[in-house]
Amino acid sequence: MSPTVQIEGDVGRVVLSGQFDFSAHREFRQVCETLIADPVVKEVLVDFQNVNYLDSSALGMLLLLKEKIGAVNKNLALVNCRDTVRQVLEIACFGKIFTIR
Amino acid sequence: MRILVVDDTEAVLLLISRFVEALGHVAIPARDGGEAIRIWREIRPDLVLMDMMMPVVSGAEAAATIKAEAGETWVPIVFVTGIGEESRLAEAIEQGADDYINKPVNLRVLEAKLKAFQRTLALNRKVREQSAKLADYYARAEEEKRVVQHLMEQMVNAERLSDAQLEYWLSPAESLSGDMIAAARTPGQVLHLMLADGIGHGLTAALNVLPLTQPFYSMTEKGYAIPDILVEMSKKVRQVLPIGRFVAVVLIAIDEANGCIEVWNGGMPTVLVVDDAGEVCHRWASRHLPLGITETHDVETVTERFYFDSPGTVVAYSDGLIEARSADGHSFGLPRLQQLLKVSARRRLAGVQAELDAHLVDTAHHDDISLVLGHFGARLRGVAAEEGRHLSPAVLSALLKVGEPAWQYALQLGAAELKYLNTVPFMMSFINEIRVLVPHQSDVFLILTELFTNALDHGLLRLDASQKQAPGGRERYLAARTRGLEQLESGRIDIELTGLRSGGQNVLKIHVCDTGPGFDWRAGVTATDVAHVQGTGLALVRALSSALIFRDPGNDVVAYYLLDTPPA
């Protein structure tokens, strides 16, 4: 699990892969911090296209990210959530506080 | 470095010692192997430079002794050897010597070797320090874990989990569990169950779920309902946990007396109700965010109800169960769990355990696994059939004349307070403090609840109890009640608890009076099925109390309860 970053215009995309759990903690945080600090980026997308599993600590990381992004007035969306990922997000009712596309 | 220099030739000893000192080290001279051992024992130098061929004790023997006694500490031993000593040198190195230098000693080479050993010694010391530190950390972590484990056990209160209506199974992924199961009963005997899952597993997860226990137990004991308990839990979690930490939780209330199960599910897998045959007849999917994410006033505390008229089981579990993966990567899955429930009620838990063991074989599960089964309906309470313990007319008339109460607790509530006050639980904290009442909490709670509900619902809000009988009627009734309470502008309810003593008996007098128009209580007295006339509760009150006296126009009621006999 090594997150990669793509920047297109004012949209920064964090592409995750494999298992998204606590082991991804440090890298995920670093990647997100660069996007938060980048003045060009107005919206951050977390892309779950290649994620096949995420656990509750991953949900915690998303909450932290939401908090930080809210503090700098940028937008956040979770995109390409399929199968298991969608299921986990639904059980946690994250649709109530996140934009999921 | 402090260097022990050993040689039986005075000239060589002097030469090497001077040179070592010139390099900034401390030289400690010895003239044979025996002396070398003695000095080593006393001073513990950092390195030994030693001749092979010496009288008394040879270099090789001294080296073996020093190495053996040094144990874990590494003391480099360098032999200074003459030509022709190669075979003995090989032996000595095999026994633990570290290096050698040929005679005549090339001082440039010796300097280089000492530098190399100094570097290695520093490295060696660092490793030893770190491993000591690591061992220390480990010991401390283990101790902390032990303390937390003890704390958890105390706070989770395993005693109360041994409820006849409840079966459960909890298998932590590590020594501490981030899943928590708790159970307690309200004074009215409603069984409250909680299943919570903190983020991750191990110590931090366990710490996440701990704040839930205190509000759960203390509020359940006072008779608070699930929504009130949730608000307190949310406050506790918000107060204690940092951002990014949350607790998924499901709260279940099984009310046997009213045939109702109430559930609030925030972030836990779907809770199921299965009937006697194990067929799923109701589901509660997660409808809310886990606790700790939103502000407490944003938490929707609305529960969803299910009414039962036949026995069955409520099934709650953590995601660790259905996601438990076998060695070949297959998860246990919900369909399999549902299949396993299709056996008789008391064989369900063992069946799931056995199947999961077979599924995992020897693979360790990576998340905490928990399963809770709450059985209901086995002893549907026959309210009408219950025997009351009635007072003799003589005792009753004596009670009516008693002037001096032993104690009294009175409460007068207007419309404004009735809107928000949770009256009966509020009064229960008083009742729990009065010694003579403690063994009768449950009965007193029921009588008080029924009389108060009667005064509020029918006296002030004028709700029609008979509508509860229609399909979906109970939900409509509760909605009408909420609406009525919001719009309530006038009216009052007076409640008075009095401790009396008459004819050698302790009696509790409960007096409830409202400003509503009253009702035809005589019809209720003569009808065998009083429930249909005036709410489900009056028959229950009549059965529990020793005497029930209405005053016209029926908005004033007194119940007498005998405190000296053990509770029913």
Band (B525; pLDDT cuts 50, 70, 90) = very low
B293 reaches A (C-beta below 8 A): yes
Percent pLDDT > 90 in chain B is 33
* pLDDT at B199 (0 to 100): 79
pLDDT classification of B530: cutoffs 50, 70, 90: very low
Name the least confident of A33-37, B37-41, B395-399. B395-399
Q: What is the arithmetic mean of pLDDT over B509-530?
A: 70
Q: Residue B59 — pLDDT band, cuts 50, 70, 90?
A: confident
Of A61, A90, A96, the CB nearest to B244: A61
Is residue B402 very low, low, confident or very high in pLDDT (cuts 50, 70, 90)? low
> For domain B393-562, which architecture applies?
2-Layer Sandwich (3.30)
Give B183's contacts (C-beta < 8 A, 6+ positions apart).
Answer: B160, B161, B163, B166, B191, B192, B193, B194
The conformation of residue B422, written as its DSSP 8-state character, comes to -
Q: Is the pLDDT of residue B334 over 70?
A: yes
C-alpha distances out from residue B157 to A71, B162, B169, B184, B556, Å: 41, 10, 15, 10, 42
Residue B404 confidence (pLDDT) above 80? no
User: pLDDT band at B390, cuts 50/70/90?
Assistant: low
Measure in Å the smallest separation between the Cα of B295 and chain A Cα atoms. Answer: 12
pLDDT score recorded for residue B206: 82
- The residues, any chain, with a CB within 8 Å of residue B490's CB and separated by 6 or more, are B415, B515
- At B203, the pLDDT band (50, 70, 90 cuts) reads confident
B 466-525 near A (Cβ less than 8 A): none
> What does each C-alpha distance from B124 to B73, B97, B168, B351, B464 come to in angstroms?
9, 16, 52, 55, 86
pLDDT at B391: 60
Contacts A67 to B, Cβ<8 Å: 243-244
- The pLDDT, as a whole number, for residue B118 is 93
Does the beta-carbon distance from B290 to A92 stay under 8 Å? yes
Q: Which residues of A touch B198 (CB under 8 A)?
A: 56
Q: What is the ipTM of this complex?
A: 0.79
All structural domains of chain B with their residue ranges? 2-126, 157-376, 393-562
Across residues B365-379, what is the average pLDDT?
86
Torsion angles phi and psi, residue B344, rounded to 5: -65, 150
Q: What is the mean pLDDT of chain B?
A: 85
Percent with pLDDT over 70 in chain B: 91
pLDDT at B116 over 90: yes
Average pLDDT of the residues in B507-523:
83
A60 to B287: CB separation less than 8 angstroms, yes or no? no
Q: Which of B96-105, B498-507, B553-562 has the lowest mean pLDDT?
A: B498-507
Tell me the mean pLDDT in the region A9-35: 88
User: Do the Cβ atoms of A92 and B319 come within 8 Å?
Assistant: no
CA B371 to chain centre: 14
- Smallest CA-to-CA distance from B549 within B426, B334, B393, B332 is with B393
Tokens of B462: 């004028």
Whether domain B2-126 has CATH 3.40.50.2300: the reply is yes
Instruction: Let me know the angle formed at the C-alpha of B15 by B11 and B18, rounded to the nearest 5 degrees.
Output: 135
Interchain pair B267, A55: CB under 8 A: no
Give me the mean pLDDT over the B237-258 stretch.
89
Q: Quick check: B281 pLDDT over 50?
A: yes
Statement: residue B475 has pLDDT above 60: yes
Q: Report the distance separating Cα B302 and Cα B58, nearest Å.
A: 89
Summarize pLDDT for B290-317 with one digit per residue, the tens.
Answer: 999 988 888 888 899 898 888 899 999 9
What do you get for the CA distance between the two ends of chain B, in Å? 86
Does B14 lie at the interface with A, CB-CB under 8 angstroms? no
Task: Test A97 with B246 for CB contact under 8 angstroms.
Answer: no
Domains and CATH numbers, chain A: 4-100 (3.30.750.24)
Q: Which of A30-34, B63-67, B468-472, B478-482 shows the lowest per-residue confidence on average (mean pLDDT)? A: B468-472
Residue B380: predicted pLDDT: 46
The Cβ-side half-sphere exposure at B316, using a 13 Å CA radius, reads: 34
Q: Which residues of B touch A60 (CB under 8 A)?
A: 199-200, 244-246
Confidence category of residue B513, pLDDT binned at 50, 70, 90: very high
Q: What is the mean pLDDT of residues A30-46?
A: 91
Best mutation target, B174, B243, B247, B370, to test chain A (most A CBs within 10 A): B243
For residues B26 and B21, what is the distance between their CA atoms, to the nearest angstrom? 6
CATH homologous superfamily of domain B157-376?
A: PPM-type phosphatase domain (3.60.40.10)
Q: How close does chain A come to B319, measured CA to CA in Å?
A: 9
User: A81: distance to nearest CA of chain B, Å?
Assistant: 18
Whether residue B405 has pLDDT greater than 70: yes
pLDDT digits 0-9 by tens, B480-503: 888 999 998 888 999 999 888 776
Looking at the predicted structure, is the pLDDT value of residue B270 above 50? yes
Q: Out of B243, B268, B319, whose CB is closest to A63?
A: B243
Q: Which of left, alpha, beta for B413 (phi over 0: left; psi -120 to 50: alpha)?
A: beta
Q: How far is B320 from chain A (nearest CA, A)?
A: 10
Residue range B379-384: mean pLDDT, rounded: 42
pLDDT in the model for residue B384 = 34
Cut 0.80: pTM above it: no
Torsion of CA B154, B156, B158, B159, to 10 degrees: 80
B182-195 confidence digits (pLDDT tens): 999 988 889 999 99
Q: Is B200 in contact with A90 (Cβ distance < 8 A)?
A: no
When CB atoms are compared, the residue of A59, A64, A94 closest to B243 is A64
- Of A46-50, B413-417, B434-438, the range with the lowest mean pLDDT is B434-438
Asked if the C-beta of A96 comes within 8 angstroms of chain B's C-beta atoms, the answer is yes
pLDDT above 80 (res B458): yes
- Which whole number is the average pLDDT over B205-234? 90
What is the nearest CA distance from A53 to chain B, expressed in angstroms? Answer: 10
First to last CA, chain A: 22
Chain B partners within 8 Å of A61 (Cβ): 244
Q: Which residue in B has a C-alpha nearest to residue A96's C-alpha?
A: B289
A90 near B CB under 8 A: yes
